[in-house]
Structure formats: C-alpha cells, structure tokens
Amino acid sequence: MKKKRYEKLAEDIAALIHGGVLQAGERIPSIRSACAAWTVSPATVFKAYYLLESRGLIQARAKSGYYVQTQPKASGLASSIATTPSEQGAVKTPTIVQVSDLVFSLLESVRDRSIVPLGSAFPDPALFPVQRLAKSAAHALRFVQPETLVTDMPLGVVELRRQIAQRYALADVRLSPDEVMITTGAMEALNLCLQAVTKPGDYVAIESPAFYASLQVLERLQLKAVEIPVGPQGMDIDLLQQALGQYPLKACWLMSSFQNPTGASLSDASKQQLVELLTQHQVPLIEDDVYHELYFGTQPPKPAKAFDHDGWVMHCSSFSKCLAPGYRVGWVNAGRFSQQVQRLKLMTTISPSIPAQAALADYLQHGGYDRHLRKLRQHLQQQYQAMVAAIQRHFPDDTQISEPDGGYFLWLTLNPAINSLTVFQQALVEGISIAPGPMFSASQQFGHCIRLNYGALKVEEIEFSIKRLAGLIDGVG
Amino acid sequence: MKKKRYEKLAEDIAALIHGGVLQAGERIPSIRSACAAWTVSPATVFKAYYLLESRGLIQARAKSGYYVQTQPKASGLASSIATTPSEQGAVKTPTIVQVSDLVFSLLESVRDRSIVPLGSAFPDPALFPVQRLAKSAAHALRFVQPETLVTDMPLGVVELRRQIAQRYALADVRLSPDEVMITTGAMEALNLCLQAVTKPGDYVAIESPAFYASLQVLERLQLKAVEIPVGPQGMDIDLLQQALGQYPLKACWLMSSFQNPTGASLSDASKQQLVELLTQHQVPLIEDDVYHELYFGTQPPKPAKAFDHDGWVMHCSSFSKCLAPGYRVGWVNAGRFSQQVQRLKLMTTISPSIPAQAALADYLQHGGYDRHLRKLRQHLQQQYQAMVAAIQRHFPDDTQISEPDGGYFLWLTLNPAINSLTVFQQALVEGISIAPGPMFSASQQFGHCIRLNYGALKVEEIEFSIKRLAGLIDGVG
C-alpha cells in the first residue's frame, strides 16, 4: 500500500531524530515553517506530528510547540491509540463521548483562572457594577421585612417584578408584575418551561447550532431534538414549518436575538411570522432572550413575545449577562403555562434568593441601570471590533466570521479540514479555552466551527490571544 | 322521605331569616352556641349551616363566623352542588384531587398574611437575625472578588463550604469543603439526589407519613413510592428490610431527625442499622436533615451520614429553617454520587446566588450563629410547651399529640370520625391554616391527622388560635 503523504513526512522526521539531526529536547519546526520547508499543507504537517507524538518520538509542551522527546520510546511501536498531549501537560484533555462530557470539560477549563477564557459563556466580571450592586444589597436588606422572606418566595420580590414589567414595556410587551416569575437564572426558567410542556420521548424543535445547555436539557429529559438550521438571519422558519408538518412537536426552543453561538437575530417580521406559525399549530415557543440588553444599535430588539397575543410564548431572561453574574436572578413570563411552570418551581427549588432579588430591585430603581448598560454595550462593541480585526490579521484567509449585532459571541467557520475538537484540545494545552462547534449540535455537526467570547478579555489582551490561537490553528490545519 | 336532623335545623334557621328574626348582615349563632341552644351535635349544626350557605342564605366571613346574606338568593333553589364558602369569602377552598393540588392550596393559604399560619412549613420569620444577616451581606459584598461571581458557581462559595465542613465535624462527620456542594435550598439538593439515582418507573422507599414535597418529587419523576411506616422512633427499619427483599429499591428518602410531619427521630443505633442495611443492599440513602440544628436537648442529633463509610448516604440540609429563610442556601454531601449530582445542578440552575452564600459565610464566621441557635431552640421549646398545653386544654380528650425532641411540628391524631380535610377547609374559612394528614401520604392515609406548626406563632397567640381551632374541630366531629 502506498504511503500517505503525512506518513512519509513522519518517517522523514523520525529519521532526522534517529540520525541525531534533531536532538532530544530540541524544538522541531513549527507547523508554519514545516509547511514552507517541505511544501506540504498544514494538515499534513499536523497529522505527521500527531503520528510522531503517538509513537512517543515528539511531545507537545504547553504554550510552546513540539519538542523531541527527551527519552524517546521504542520507535517501532506505533500505538494505535494516540497518546493525548494532556497526559504530559497540566490540563486535562476531555474524553469526547457525548455533548455533556464535552460541555463539562469546557466548563471545567473555564473555571481554571490560568486559562484564557475565549470559550467562556460569561463576559469579563469586571464589566459589571459589582460595588454598586453591593451598595444596593446593603440598602435593600436593611429595610427588608422579615415576613417577605417567606411570602415573596412563590413569584419573587414584587418590586423586582414591577421593574421587570417596566422594562418589558420598553420592549413593547405589556404585562402585569404578577405575570413575571423570578427564577434561579434563565437556566432554571428554560428548564421549567420545557418540563411543563413535554414528556419523555416528545419531539422538540431546536436551533442548529444551538446553545449547548439546551441540548443537555433535552438529553436529561429524554426528548428528541428536531434540528432547524440557523443562518445569519436566525432560524430558518420555512424549515420549521416543514418540521411542524412532519413531527408532533411539543415545543420550539430558540434564542430570537443574538443567538448563542452564532450571534444571529431574527428580524421583527420573522419573529412575528414565527409566533403566528407556532400559535396556529398550538406549539409553545420557549424564547431564551438573555442577551436582549446587549444590542449594538440604538434600539433594543423586540422579543418574539411582543408578537404573542394568545400566550403561546414563554419568555425567559435574566440579569446574569447584562448586570449581575452570580446573583442567579432570572425570570419567566410563561403566558398560558404560568401555573404549571410556577408549580414545577415550587416543587424543585421553591424560590431564588430573596436578598439577591431585593438587591437587584433596589439597583434597578436607584443604581443607574441604563447608564451601566450604555457603557457595557459600548465596551462590548470595542471588544468585538478588536477581536474581528485580530482575527482578520492572524487567522487563515478562508475563515468566515459571523456579524452579530449584539451579545458577545463570534462564530467562526474554519477550513473544513480543521477539526475544532483538536483545536480545543491543543488550545487547552496552550492555556486557551475555546468552544468547539460539536458542543452546539445534537448530531455532532460543526466540526470545523468554533465559538469565541469577545466579552471575556480586556481589549488589550485580545490581539495577543487571537494571535496565539491563530498559530495553533495553523498547526492543526 | 323523612327529613334529616340538619335539614330540619336548616329549615328552622331559614324561617328565622325569612321571618326577619335574623336580619341581613346579622351574625348567626356560633357552632358552639347553636349546639347548646338546639341540643344538637356540632356536626349537625355544621351541615345545616353548609346547606344554608349553599342556598345563598348565609355566608362565611374570614376570621369571624357565619352571617345572614346581605342580599339573600332565592331560597327555594337548593343547588345539588354546594357553593363552596370560598366563592363568597376571601379564601379559596381547594379542590382535593391529588396530593399536589392539596399541597398547592395549602401553600397559597399560608401566603395570605391574614391567615393564622398553623399549617405553614416555616417558623415565624421574626425568630431569625434578619438585621445581623443584612450586616453580613453588606460586609461580604463590599469585599467580593468579581471573578468569584463566576468561578464559585459550580460548588459554591469556598468559605461557606469550609464553615459547613466545620459544623459537620461537630456532628461527627469528617469531610473536606470540596465534598460539600451548595444548592438553592435543601429542596434542590433532594431533587438532584433523587434524579441522580433513579429513572421513571423505579421504586423508592419513603416514610409514611412523609414530607409532602417528597411525594411531589416522586410524582414529578414518575417514581413508585414504597411507603414505610414512621412510628415515634422513626421509620420502621424491619419493614424497610422486608421492602428491600420485595422491591428493587433505587433509593430510600427519609428525615432521620425531627421528621416532618411527625417530629420523630431515629436513635443513633437505628441510624447505624439503617446505613448498614442500605449499604449492604447498595441502595443510596437520601437523608433530609433540615431540622438538625433545632434540637431541644443539649446535644445535636447525629445524622445517619455519621455512620456512612462507603458513600451511600447523600446528606442534604439548609439554612432555611435555622438561620436564613428566603436566602435559599442549602447544601448536599452526596458521597459517591457527587459528580452526577453536581452535573445535574449545572444543567438546571447552575448555582444558587453567590451574594447570598457570601453573606452566610460572613455571618457564620462573625455573626454569632451558636448564640442565635441557642436562643432559637429555647424559643421553639417555649412555643412547643405553650401549644401542647393549649391543645390539652381545648382539644377533645381523645386527641393524641406527638412528642418531638426538636423541630417545630406537632402531629395530632384526632378521633377517627374527624375528617382532617374538612377541618382544613373549615379552618381556612375561619382564617386558620392547618396541614391535613392526607397531604403527607401517597395513598391518602391519615385522614384524621393534622400537622400544626408551633414555631409560626408568637407564644401569646397560641392559646387563642388553638382554642378557635378546637372549637372548629368540635363542629366537624
């Protein structure tokens, strides 16, 4: 059998090592210079290096590159199972078995503060008015009525619900404070909504790519995902309509604005069409709208809820992405499903923290929320511009970059030859986290896509990190 | 057909109304004085009043009694479906269909501050150091590191976990802070534990009577309840052993100390026997230990967890009952199931409020928790004594009263002729909530039992409320 090109290259390099041209501990050529030197593609070099590594001849070192093993293993014994870099480095390489395991690996990596958090789901905590919130907490708690600690539990602190109803009004949704139920973040709200309208085995329409947590919830509740593609204009509503004809969908779960991971938003017309379509089929829409305050323009996007006249839209959001991460205060306006959702909450967590709610209610009244949001939006837009510029400078020319109008995620489509899971593993070794495409897919698609968080780094850190990541992608390609 | 006694009485009273003897808006005789006046049983009077009410001639007023309708309806039209009192009064009478509906009715009634909360699951909020906690919150938040708002989410605030580990040591359980995971109250912890070890259709051993929330969780997760009787010494372990032989139990969920609703506690020897039995069968024990700090003696009870050497006990508790209601901070030490439980939490609520955790961590370090607990225990014991004395004075002689060594619940076994659901409904009309026995049973047992919360009232309010409740039970009997 004719040897493949990378196998030939690996043999050549092995010969250099055995011949003493490349000595133990010596750095071997970077992927880029190897390409130039041997006129091969980056993919060929990467595969060759991977093979050499699996044979114990070279090893990856964190934040550096590939080196000749100091004690080369017997070179003839090519293991069919590659030794993953992590077994030598400090960072654990995940076992990629299913979405949940991959997601948990990512979450663990993000927790490690020495890792550059491009894969994080949270923006830089320094962007939030932590001290001003503390002042509000102190003020609110000084005047809290002890009995409200119990009586406010089912729906949440009334002043907070009133403030949220006011903000809904700005987004063209009119409702009373009693139609808002406070939850432990939007995540709880979304979980409760899906649970309220489904049974194990049911079909649920979700986006493709989708926020990974929605995939985990479907896994946990044993629901079947009907994946509807998301383009630059959001979910493909024509395909959703087809799916409604093909499957007895029990819910449709989506992010209507600044979708995670693509950043795409539906237009107002599409939102209206979506709500009308689902209402007509009596299929509840679970609308995850956690990024709605993070728009770049001058006007907030309308939620799909604004077009809901019959209560089929369950609108979920939170303060975690725009004001108070860690406070774990979200909410749901569950339309016609409000009672079921409330009862499920009382059966599982009863209530989110009342002091945290009281603090936010005080802040919303007196803290200057709109001023904070203006600054935050401006800052995120600067980070966005810095990251796009850095990617254009350093990433391969064939990289496609999404063009979000808000939020803090970029979705990159790389050359199809690039395996984003390999990039994920290699980047972790180098001290950078990214979110690889398959995390966002029930069917493990988007193998050559990655999600980057531009809100997680200071503007001045972006260039350096993107450059390092680009170098690494060159190596993998 | 010969008229029944109550029908005759109702006719007599209707005649008094139509004849103008009893005028619109006038109070009609109390059940007690009606018994004396007309030499009939309280049940007869009650049924007569109920009939009159269903005919629109009289109406119940919250906290007051029965009054002649101000605008009597046509008297001849006796509806075959009685108009329930709630349709005229302020308080909704529940539809008793299943445990969940009953439980939600109770929870709603307790929320109404005009109702005397003998059915409440919470002690009087005035018993807690609300202002001192506010001071701790202000202090802790002034020094919170913004990044910990994100990094502390998976397990919880480390200083809080350290403090909890210290308190475990006092209860003879040695563990590291990393073995403690903070949850949104004990309720979330219990839910996660049960979810981690069961699938729909599985068998789970629970107490009979059991805390109603455990029944709701079983309902929600579609699990089959194997009910094991609880006596004055706690769960009957011999019967549990039999059940282990008969059913493939996937978990056993119980409260080892000051059980809700009976107040019963297992002895140390029984706890040890229980853990050994379950470990031998490799069946996880989900230990709900939320009342452990509320003991009357000089020594805290040991949790079953203290006898666990192989990690089969999942110990759940919280600060909601002993320090900080409404903060929604609980925890779990899930032994060998820690990873599954943690992952489930990350998929559903992610984390309880970090500021609430930081506040409690500060309080536990500097707030005088043990001093607070000594006062709280003393106070609860006074309330306990006052309520038992009042019951002995006013309730029928055949009432059996439980003898808890801690917590804040009394379990009363009434004459078998008394329907506690009727007592529940009537008491609500009179402005008192109680927890009727069937709430605590998967098989709707304990129809003549009620749970009273002696921690919810001020000592000086107890006598009056118990007397009113006793009068009402006389009427139902």
The H or E element containing residue B304 is none
Q: In chain B, whose CA is at the least distance from the CA of A218?
A: B347
Q: Which residues of A touch B137 (CB under 8 A)?
A: 137-138, 141, 355
Q: Is residue B384 part of a domain?
A: yes
CA distance A3 to A47: 13
CA dihedral B64, B69, B71, B76 (to 10 degrees): 160
Q: Is residue A464 part of a domain?
A: yes
Confidence of residue B20 (pLDDT cuts 50, 70, 90): low
Rounded to the nearest 5 degrees, what angle is found at the Cα of A310, between the Cα atoms of A309 and A311? 105
What is the mean predicted confidence (pLDDT) over B102-113? 72
* Range list of β-strands (E), A3-44: none
Hey, is the C-beta of B347 within 8 angstroms of any chain A C-beta? Answer: yes
To the nearest 5 percent, what fractions of chain A are helix, strand and coil? 45, 15, 40
- Whether A168 and A293 map to the same domain: the answer is yes
CA dihedral A448, A453, A459, A463 (to 10 degrees): -20
CA distance B360 to B367: 9
CATH of the domain at B49: 1.10.10.10
Is the Cβ–Cβ distance between A313 and A335 less than 8 Å? yes
Choose the closest CB to A188 out of B104, B150, B348: B348
Of A295-309, B69-83, B100-114, B155-169, give the lowest mean pLDDT range: B69-83
Please provide the average confidence, as pLDDT, over all residues in chain B: 87
- Whether B123 and B134 map to the same domain: the answer is no
Q: How far is B234 from chain A (nearest CA, A)?
A: 25
Q: Which residues of B touch A142 (CB under 8 A)?
A: 131, 134, 138
Ramachandran category for residue A461: left, alpha or beta (phi over 0 → left; psi -120 to 50 → alpha)? alpha
Hey, is the C-beta of B221 within 8 angstroms of any chain A C-beta? Answer: no
Hey, is the C-beta of A355 within 8 angstroms of any chain B C-beta? Answer: yes
Spatial CA neighbour of A156 closest among A341, A367, A373, A300: A341
Domain that holds residue B33: 5-84
Is the Cβ–Cβ distance between B128 and B468 less than 8 Å? no
Q: Who contacts A463 (Cβ-Cβ below 8 Å, separation ≥6)?
A: A386, A390, A393
DSSP state of A180: -
Q: What is the pLDDT of residue B67?
A: 82
Q: What is the pLDDT of residue B470?
A: 96
What are the beta bridge partners of residue A432?
A116
Inspect the interface and report whether the beta carbons of A134 and B141 lie closer than 8 Å.
yes
CA distance B400 to B165: 39
Is the Cβ–Cβ distance between B185 and B330 less than 8 Å? yes
CA distance B143 to B145: 6
Q: How far is A356 from chain B (nearest CA, A)?
A: 7
Q: In chain A, whose CA is at the least distance from the CA of B110?
A: A151
Hey, is the C-beta of A184 within 8 angstroms of any chain B C-beta? Answer: yes
Q: What is the pLDDT of residue B92?
A: 25
Percent above pLDDT 70 for chain B: 90
Hey, is the C-beta of A104 within 8 angstroms of any chain B C-beta? Answer: yes
| Cα–Cα distance list, A92 to A62, A80, A87, B87 (Å) | 12, 21, 7, 63
CA distance B362 to B160: 8
**Assigned token pair, A440:** 């966002």
Is the Cβ–Cβ distance between B284 and B314 less than 8 Å? yes
The single-letter code of the amino acid at A354 is I
A226: helix, coil or strand?
Answer: strand
What are the beta bridge partners of residue B451?
B411, B435
Hey, is the C-beta of A359 within 8 angstroms of any chain B C-beta? Answer: yes
Hey, is the C-beta of B152 within 8 angstroms of any chain A C-beta? Answer: yes
Hey, is the C-beta of B2 within 8 angstroms of any chain A C-beta? Answer: no
**Assigned token pair, A247:** 């499957």
- Whether B184 and B323 map to the same domain: the answer is yes
Q: In chain B, whose CA is at the least distance from the CA of A359?
A: B355
Q: In chain B, whose CA is at the least distance from the CA of A150?
A: B326
- Whether A123 and A139 map to the same domain: the answer is no
DSSP result, B392-416: HHHS-TT-EE---SBSSEEEEE--T
Q: Is the pLDDT of residue B105 over 90?
A: no
CA distance B313 to B302: 13
Hey, is the C-beta of A464 within 8 angstroms of any chain B C-beta? Answer: no
- Whether B105 and B157 map to the same domain: the answer is no
Spatial CA neighbour of A142 closest among B128, B136, B187, B253: B136
Q: Of A318, A346, A370, at which residue does a domain stop?
A: A370
Hey, is the C-beta of A201 within 8 angstroms of any chain B C-beta? Answer: no
Q: Which residues of B touch A347 (CB under 8 A)?
A: 100, 187, 191, 213, 216-217, 220
- Whether A389 and A290 map to the same domain: the answer is no
Q: Which residues of B touch A188 (CB under 8 A)?
A: 348-349
- Whether B148 and B108 map to the same domain: the answer is no
Residue A398 or residue B27, greater confidence: A398
CA distance B477 to B473: 6
Hey, is the C-beta of B329 within 8 angstroms of any chain A C-beta? Answer: yes
Inspect the interface and report whether the beta carbons of B134 and A142 lie closer than 8 Å.
yes
Spatial CA neighbour of B197 closest among B239, B154, B251, B122: B251
CA distance A310 to B458: 47
CATH of the domain at A311: 3.40.640.10
CA distance A324 to A330: 10
Inspect the interface and report whether the beta carbons of B326 and A359 lie closer than 8 Å.
no
Total residues found in chain A within this entry: 477
Burial degree of B3 (CB within 10 A; 0-12, 13-18, 19+): exposed
CA distance B71 to B57: 8
Long-range (24+ apart) CB contacts under 8 A made by B128-132 are: B128/A146, B128/A149, B128/B323, B128/B324, B128/B325, B128/B372, B128/B376, B129/B323, B129/B363, B129/B367, B129/B368, B129/B372, B130/A144, B130/A146, B130/A149, B131/A142, B132/B363, B132/B367, B132/B368, B132/B372
Hey, is the C-beta of A248 within 8 angstroms of any chain B C-beta? Answer: no
Q: Which residues of A touch B322 (CB under 8 A)?
A: none
Spatial CA neighbour of A286 closest among A308, A269, A264, A268: A308
- Whether B392 and B345 map to the same domain: the answer is no
Is the Cβ–Cβ distance between A175 and A168 less than 8 Å? yes
CA distance A310 to B408: 45
Confidence of residue B63 (pLDDT cuts 50, 70, 90): low
Inspect the interface and report whether the beta carbons of B356 and A353 lie closer than 8 Å.
yes
CA distance A403 to A398: 16
Interface probe for A, chosen from B98, B202, B321, B347 (most Cβ of A below 10 Å), is B347
Q: What is the pLDDT of residue B31?
A: 74
Q: Of A25, A47, A82, at which residue does a domain stop?
A: A82
Is the Cβ–Cβ distance between A374 and A129 less than 8 Å? no
Q: What is the pLDDT of residue A131?
A: 94
Q: Is the pLDDT of residue B138 over 80?
A: yes
Q: In chain B, whose CA is at the least distance from the CA of A112?
A: B151
- Whether B253 and B279 map to the same domain: the answer is yes
Q: Of B347, B366, B385, at which residue does a domain stop?
A: B366
A182: helix, coil or strand?
Answer: strand
Inspect the interface and report whether the beta carbons of B343 and A141 lie closer than 8 Å.
no
Q: Which residues of B touch A146 (CB under 8 A)?
A: 125-126, 128, 130
Confidence of residue B19 (pLDDT cuts 50, 70, 90): low
Is the Cβ–Cβ distance between B204 and B198 less than 8 Å? yes
- Whether B187 and B276 map to the same domain: the answer is yes
Of A236-240, A395-399, B35-39, B417-421, give the lowest mean pLDDT range: B35-39
- Whether B28 and B121 map to the same domain: the answer is no
* pLDDT tens digit sequence for B307-362: 999 999 999 999 999 999 999 999 999 999 999 999 999 999 999 999 999 999 99
Is the Cβ–Cβ distance between A179 and A157 less than 8 Å? no
What residues of chain A score a pLDDT lower than 70? 1-2, 19-21, 32-33, 36-37, 54, 62-64, 71-99, 109-111, 477
- Whether A364 and A241 map to the same domain: the answer is yes
Q: Is residue A91 part of a domain?
A: no
CATH of the domain at B103: 3.90.1150.10
Q: How far is A49 from chain B (nearest CA, A)?
A: 35
Inspect the interface and report whether the beta carbons of B350 and A328 lie closer than 8 Å.
yes
Q: How far is A93 from chain B (nearest CA, A)?
A: 18
Q: What is the pLDDT of residue B477?
A: 66
Burial degree of B309 (CB within 10 A; 0-12, 13-18, 19+): exposed
Inspect the interface and report whether the beta carbons of B134 and A131 lie closer than 8 Å.
no
**Assigned token pair, B334:** 């899930």
Report the domain count for chain B.
3
DSSP result, B5-30: HHHHHHHHHHHHHHTTSS-TTPBPPP
Inspect the interface and report whether the beta carbons of B191 and A348 lie closer than 8 Å.
yes
Inspect the interface and report whether the beta carbons of B325 and A133 lie closer than 8 Å.
no
Q: In chain A, whose CA is at the least distance from the CA of B186?
A: A349
